[in-house]
């Protein structure tokens, strides 16, 4: 990859910028498809290649490893499950992105991951003459398909701005600060989403027990202070008992767990009693076998506790 005199990569353009994508799942696949539709050439790495079938049929190339992918690409996005997965695909000394990247490459991790790991990756990337941005997203599968995600970016501001032609295709980016700031912002985002989701599902449960029309109830309160993006995304899905995977609950539990952990770098911990309670609700959903279901499935936990038939 060529760079300009300032050391930053040359401008992004579909005719010359090669994009790599690691993790074409429900969210990642939709985001990658938007880049592909805009004319960018994609190289994909997927542990389960069948998940990349639509991208491959549209002309994407399949790489044998993250390292092989990085050797062919200027910008590499990753959207995987857990921090351990991020560490593996980026930092594995043999197969990771860093082992195959060319100087001047840019790594963009969209996974909800550990802020400390994001800082570590940014440091290692600079040692190789590369750049790294932690850019987790919020907005669910709908936002991924429609290109309306909130992108919370941490890293060098100039690099975040450099990536704007790509970010604009998948949502609205906000530079949150230095490396790790994007991940810290996403954890805080999940704290807010969790409380909204628990409140929404409890409200629907109460409305049902009061023999209200749940659909009319949501329509009525949506215009008032109780209305929220969470309601827009999940309200109808909750009422329709949608059981598809769309922001799987097991990942949400992971995110809230990071919020409750002690900061190993500063030996500090935030006291978050409501987040701890919310996480227990989501753990109950996972324990009952619904860990792969989208967040709308939380209503089942409330129904079981209240004697409703949750089938």
Catalytic residues: 186
Q: Is residue 183 within 8 Å of residue 204, measured between CB atoms? A: no
For residues 201 and 207, what is the distance between their CA atoms, to the nearest angstrom?
10
Q: Is residue 103 within 8 Å of residue 71, measured between CB atoms? A: no
Residues linked to residue 106 through DSSP beta bridges, in sequence order: 75, 131
**Tokens coding 117:** 């790991």
**Tokens coding 10:** 């040359």
Task: Give the distance, in angstroms, between the CA of residue 12 and the centroid of all CA atoms in the same chain.
Answer: 23
For residues 138 and 47, what is the distance between their CA atoms, to the nearest angstrom?
24
Which letter, b or e, does each residue of 271-284 get, where b requires 16 or more Cβ atoms within 10 Å of its Cβ? Answer: eeeebeebbebbbb
**Tokens coding 297:** 């499935």
Residues linked to residue 78 through DSSP beta bridges, in sequence order: 22, 109
For residues 89 and 291, what is the distance between their CA atoms, to the nearest angstrom?
24
């Amino acid at each position: 990859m060529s760079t300009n005199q300032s050391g930053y990569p040359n401008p992004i353009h579909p005719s010359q910028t090669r994009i790599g994508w690691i993790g074409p799942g429900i969210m990642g696949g939709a985001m990658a498809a938007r880049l592909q539709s805009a004319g960018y050439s994609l190289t994909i790495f997927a542990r389960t290649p069948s998940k990349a079938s639509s991208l491959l049929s549209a002309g994407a190339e399949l790489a044998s490893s993250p390292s092989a992918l990085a050797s062919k690409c200027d910008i590499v996005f990753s959207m995987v499950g857990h921090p351990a997965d991020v560490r593996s695909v980026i930092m594995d000394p043999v197969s990771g992105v860093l082992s195959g990247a060319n100087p001047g490459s840019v790594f963009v991790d969209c996974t909800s991951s550990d802020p400390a790991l994001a800082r570590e990756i940014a440091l290692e990337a600079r040692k190789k003459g590369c750049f790294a941005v932690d850019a987790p997203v919020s907005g669910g599968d709908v936002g991924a398909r429609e290109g309306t995600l909130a992108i919370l970016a941490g890293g060098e501001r100039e690099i975040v701005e450099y990536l704007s032609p790509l970010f604009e295709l998948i949502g609205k980016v906000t530079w949150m600060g230095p490396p790790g700031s994007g991940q810290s912002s996403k954890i805080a985002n999940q704290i807010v989403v969790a409380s909204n989701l628990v409140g929404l599902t409890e409200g629907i449960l109460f409305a049902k027990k009061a023999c209200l029309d749940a659909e009319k109830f949501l329509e009525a309160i949506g215009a008032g202070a109780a209305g929220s993006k969470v309601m827009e995304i999940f309200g109808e899905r909750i009422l329709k008992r949608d059981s598809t995977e769309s922001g799987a609950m097991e990942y949400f539990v992971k995110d809230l767990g990071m919020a409750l952990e002690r900061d190993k770098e500063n030996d500090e911990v935030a006291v978050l009693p409501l987040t701890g309670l919310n996480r227990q609700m989501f753990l109950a959903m996972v324990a009952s076998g619904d860990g792969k279901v989208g967040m709308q499935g939380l209503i089942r936990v409330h129904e079981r506790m209240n004697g409703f038939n949750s089938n």
